[in-house]
Structure 1
Amino acid sequence: MREAEGWRVVGQYPDGTPAEALAYFERKFADLASEVTLLEVRHRRGGASASDLRTTALSVRAKLDGAAAVGDLAALVSRIDVLTAELAEASETEAVAAKEAVAEAVRERTVIVEEAEALAARDPQTVQWKQSTAEMSALFDRWQAHQQNGPRLPKSTAQQLWRRFRDARASFDRHRREFFSALDETHKAARDAKTRLVERAEALAPRGEDGIGAYRDLLDQWKASGRAGRKVDDALWARFKAAGDALYSARGEREAADIEASREKIEQKRALLEQAAPIVDEKNLGTARQRLTAIQRQWDEIGRVFPRDVERGLDDELRKIEQSVRTREDADWKRNDPEQKARANDMTRQITDAIAKLESELAGAEARGDKRAAAQASEALEARRGWLRALGG
C-alpha cells in the first residue's frame, strides 16, 4: 500500500484472489476505525472514566502502528492522538474531582462515626433505648449505603473509621445489655414486692370495711415499690385494685344501709328545726334557752344521720338558731355584769365631777372676761357631757 512515506507492505493472503485479499485487509481497517469511533462516542457521551478511556485509546493507538489493514491509517492515528490528548486533560480533572470526592466521603463517614460515638457515650440511665437503638440502626444503614455507593476510600483510612464505628456500636450494645439486665433485676424485685402486697390485700377481704385503713397502707407501699414492667404491673394492679374494690364495696353497702335507716331520723330532725325556728323571735331569753335546750336534747337522742352532707346541712341550720340565742345571752350578760356596772358607775361619777369643775371654771372665766379660757372650758365641758350621754347618764 502506498502512503506519504512510500510503499508499505500490508501483509499476505495466500490461497485467495486479489479481490478477496483486499476485502480482508479492508475489514481489518474497518474494525480499527470502529474502535476509534466507539472511543470518541463514549468520550462525548460522558459517564465513562476518562482514565480508563485513555488507557484503551493508548492500546488502540499501539494497534495502528504497522497495522495489517488497508485504509487511511494516518487519519485514524490523528483522531486517536487528538482523543488521547483530550482524555489526558479530562483524566487530570477527573483525578482532582476524585480526590475531592474521597475527601468529602471521608468527612461524611467521619460524621457517621462521631454520631455513633456520641450515642455510645450517653449515660445509660438517661438513654431512651428504643429511640437510640433506632438511631444506631439508621447510622449503620447509612454506613453501608455510603460504603456501597460512595467512592472507594484509602484502605488505611477506611479501616480506621470502621474500627471506630464498630467499637462505638459494640460499646452501645454492651451498655444496652447491661441496662436491661439491671432493669430486669429491678423489675423482678418490684414484681416480688407487689405480689406480696397483692396477697396481703386479698387477705383483707374477710375484714370488710374495717380493712380499708390497712389497704391504704398497702397502697402507699405499692406506690413506693417501683415498676415491674407494664404487663406485669397491669396484671398485679388488677388484682390489687379488685381487693380494694371489695373493701370499699362493703363500705358502700354499709353506707347505703345507713342512708336507708336515716330517712326517718332526717324527717325527725327537720321537724325539730321547724319547732326551733320561732325561738329566734322569743322575747323572753330564759324561755328561749329552755326551749332550745329541750330541742338540743331531742336532737342528740335522734343520733347521727347519713349521708354526711345532709347531716352537715341539718346541723348548720340548728347551729344558726343556737348562735342567735348565744348572741342574745352574751349581750344580756354584758348589760347585767356587776363588775361592768361598777366600772360604768365609777366612770359616770368621774365625768360628773369633771363637768361640775368645768362649769365652775367656765363661770369664773366669763366673770373675768377671759374669752380664751372660757372657750377652752366650754369645749372641754361639751366633750365631757357627750361622754356622759354615751354612758347613759
Structure 2
Amino acid sequence: MSSDPWGRVDETGTVYVRTADGEQVVGSWQAGSPEEALAYFERKYEGLVVEIGLLEKRVKTTDLSAKDAQTAVDHLREQVDAHHAVGDLDALRARLDKLVALVETRREERRAQRAKQSDEARGAKEALVAEAEELARSDQWRAAGERLRSLVDTWKGLPRLDRKSDDELWHRFSHARSAFSKRRKQHFAQLDAQREEARRTKERLVSEAEALSNSTDWGPTAARYRDLMSEWKAAGRAQREHEDDLWNRFRGAQDVFFAARSSVFAERDAEQSENLKLKEELAEEAEKLVPVTDLKAARAAFRSVNERWEAIGHVPRDARPKVEGRMHAVERAIQEAEEAEWRRTNPEARARAEGLTGQLQAAVDKLRSQIEQARSQGNDAKADKLARELEGRQALLDQALKGLHEFGG
C-alpha cells in the first residue's frame, strides 16, 4: 500500500483522495505500482489547478461574459466533485467559490455600467429632442434644416434605450422635424405666392409704363413714372425667371419716354454736359474709395458722393451708362466688402464652428485618457487601436481650429 498527504492506494489497487468529508474513491489502478497510480492522479490534480488558474486570469483580465464564466466554473466544479484526482480538492472548491463570487461581482459591475450607459444615452437623446423642438420653431430655414439633419446622424450613433422610452423620444424627435418641415414648406409656399402676386403687379406696371412711353405730357407723365417706380419697389421681387425681363421692359418704356423728352429739351444739352462733368468728378472721387479698407468710412463717403450725385440731375443719354457704370462698380465693391464682413462676423456660423471645435477637443481628450488607461492596464492592442482613432480625430480638430481662426477665434 502507498500513500501521500492527500491520497493513498490500498492493497487492491483502489486509489483514495482525502477530503474534509473523508476519503473518496478516485479510481482503480492495476497497471503499475501504487506510486505510479498516485503520480498519475496527482497530475490530474495539477491539470485542474492549471485550468482554474487560467479561468481566474480570464475573469480578472478579459471581458469574458458572466454567463460563459459561470459555465466554465460549473464544468470545473463537476471535475473536482468527481474526485478523479489526488490533491487538495477542498482548496480547489474554495477557489471556485471565490470565482463564483467574483463573477457575480463582475456581473453587477457590468449591469451597473449598462445602466449608466443607458442613462447617458437617455440624457443625450433627451437633449437632442429638446434642441430639435427648439429648432422646430426657428425661421432660420437653411441653418436649422442643416442642424436637424446633423441631429439625426447623432441620434443614429447613440445606443438604443428600452423600446418604450426609445419610441417615445423618437416620436417627439420625429414630430419636431416634421413640424419644422411643415413650417418651412408653408413659408416657401407663401413666398411663392408673394412672388406670383409681385409678378402680376409688375405685369400691370409694365403695361402702364409701355402705354405712357409715347406721351408728350412731359410733367405729369414723368411724375407718373416716379409713382410707378415706387409701386415697383413696393411690389417685391417676382420669380427669378420673370424679374429681369419685366424690369428690362419697365425700364425700356421709361427710357423711350425720357429719351423723347430729352430730345424736346434740347436746350438743356449744355446743362446736361455740365452735369456730366460734375458726375465724372464725383465718379472719380468715389473710385478713390476702392479698394475698401475702412468699411464704415467708405459707406459714409459713398453716401455723401451719392447725395451730391442725385442732386445734379440728368446727363446726356449716350454718356449715362458709362458714368453710372463707374458709380455702380464702386457701389458693388462696397456691397461685396459688407458681405465679406458679415460672413466673417456671422455669429451663427462662428457658434457652429466653436461648437464643433469643442466637441472634437472633448473627443480628443477622452481618447488620450482612454489610451493612457489602456497602456497602464497593459492592453497595448486596445491602446494602439485608440491611437489610430485619435489621429483621425486630431486631424479633424486641427481643421476645425483653422476654420475657427478664419472667424478671428
Q: Name the structure where helix makes up a greater proportion of residues.
A: 1
